[in-house]
């Protein structure tokens, strides 16, 4: 049974870079059928998709975060990572990693079928 | 402001049926499949419906999904107190080339 687990610091200072890693166990990240995504949820608010990366091909990013975010894949360690720069208090949220099924052609099937437990990242000095 | 619009809250009595709506546009719900997620308090979201109307293994048939034009609906029958949760719709927006979610709906089982 494939499982995902987020890891990283729970506290980041304003203007610095938030870095998180999602460790995938019980299966390979080198799946050509899936993307690997990040979603966040500010306290008391809804879900916001950050971006998704495939095993091969182009990465998709939320345009509102595009200039600050990078998602990368490390197949040798079976994990993928999120980097969000120039953070402010508005970036305080629970960050989830998830397996993302995304079809290439319309009508595009699109769903997140496996999720990590989430990790709270607070931006504060 | 979410791309997809959901009612903030719905409520119904145990055993009753409830529906949760999700309104979008021709570039998202009208063009791609919809998924629904259940988020119990303090936990990660869980896939409830995928590909608009399909249920993952282990999800009871009390949960159903449908679409009409640019709106989608999640239906829950035989409500149980354990169904109290936040529910989110999601899809892909072809114009934005982005994943999008609704703002979420809090279900209260009275």
Say yes or no to pLDDT of B96 above 80: yes
A91 phi and psi, to 5 degrees? -90, 0
Taking CA atoms, what residue in B is nearest to A42? B103
Confidence of residue B83 (pLDDT cuts 50, 70, 90): very high
- Structure confidence at residue B63 (pLDDT): 98
DSSP tag of A8:
S
Confidence of residue B28 (pLDDT cuts 50, 70, 90): very high
Say yes or no to pLDDT of A58 above 80: yes
Say yes or no to pLDDT of A36 above 80: yes
Q: Distance (Å) from the C-alpha of residue B38 to the closest C-alpha of chain A?
A: 12
Question: How many CB atoms are located within 10 Å of the residue A90 CB?
Answer: 8
Interface test with A, best of B99, B100, B104 (most A CBs within 10 A): B99
A3 touches chain B (CB under 8 A): no
- Structure confidence at residue A33 (pLDDT): 78
Find the distance separating the first CA and the last CA of chain A, reported in whole Å: 39
Confidence of residue A66 (pLDDT cuts 50, 70, 90): confident
Q: Which B residues 23-82 touch A at CB under 8 Å?
A: 31-33, 35, 37, 43-47, 50-51, 56
Confidence of residue A108 (pLDDT cuts 50, 70, 90): confident
- Structure confidence at residue A42 (pLDDT): 97
Q: Chain B residues with CB inside 8 Å of A61's CB?
A: 98
Distance CA B4, CA B107 (A): 18
A78 touches chain B (CB under 8 A): no
Helix and strand counts by DSSP (H, E) for chain B: 0, 9
**Cβ-contact B100, B2 below 8 angstroms:** yes
3-state SS of chain A: helix, strand, coil percent to 5?
0, 50, 45
Whether A110 and B92 lie within 8 Å, measured CB to CB:
yes
- Structure confidence at residue A107 (pLDDT): 82
**Cβ-contact A14, A88 below 8 angstroms:** yes
Q: Which residues of B72-92 are buried (b: 16+ CB within 10 A; e: fewer)?
A: bbbebeebeeebebbbbbbbb
- Structure confidence at residue B60 (pLDDT): 97
Q: To the nearest whole number, what is the mean pLDDT of chain A?
A: 94
Partners of residue B54 on adjacent β-strands? B50
Whether A102 and B92 lie within 8 Å, measured CB to CB:
yes
Q: Chain A residues with CB inside 8 Å of B50's CB?
A: 101, 109, 111, 113
CA A82-A46-A71 angle, 5° bins: 10
A47 touches chain B (CB under 8 A): yes
């Amino acid at each position: 049974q494939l499982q995902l687990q987020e890891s990283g610091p729970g506290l980041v200072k304003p203007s610095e870079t938030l870095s998180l890693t999602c460790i995938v166990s019980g299966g390979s990240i080198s799946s050509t059928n899936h993307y690997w995504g990040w979603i966040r949820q500010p306290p008391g608010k809804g879900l916001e998709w950050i971006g998704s990366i495939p095993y091969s091909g182009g990465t998709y990013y939320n345009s509102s975060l595009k200039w600050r975010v990078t998602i990368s894949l490390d197949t040798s360690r079976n994990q993928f990572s999120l980097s969000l720069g120039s953070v402010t208090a508005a970036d305080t949220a629970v960050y989830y990693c998830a397996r993302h099924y995304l079809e290439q052609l319309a009508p595009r099937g699109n769903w997140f079928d496996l999720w990590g437990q989430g990790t709270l990242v607070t931006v504060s000095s | 402001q979410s791309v997809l619009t959901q009612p903030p809250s719905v409520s119904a009595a145990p055993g009753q049926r409830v529906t949760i709506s999700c309104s979008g546009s021709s570039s998202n719900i009208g063009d791609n499949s919809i998924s629904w997620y259940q988020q119990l308090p303090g936990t990660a979201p869980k896939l409830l419906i995928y590909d608009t109307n399909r249920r993952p293994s282990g999800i009871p048939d009390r949960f159903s999904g449908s679409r009409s034009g640019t709106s989608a609906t999640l239906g829950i029958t035989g409500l149980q107190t354990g169904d109290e949760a936040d529910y989110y719709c999601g899809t892909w927006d072809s114009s934005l080339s982005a994943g999008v979610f609704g703002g979420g709906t809090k279900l209260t089982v009275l």
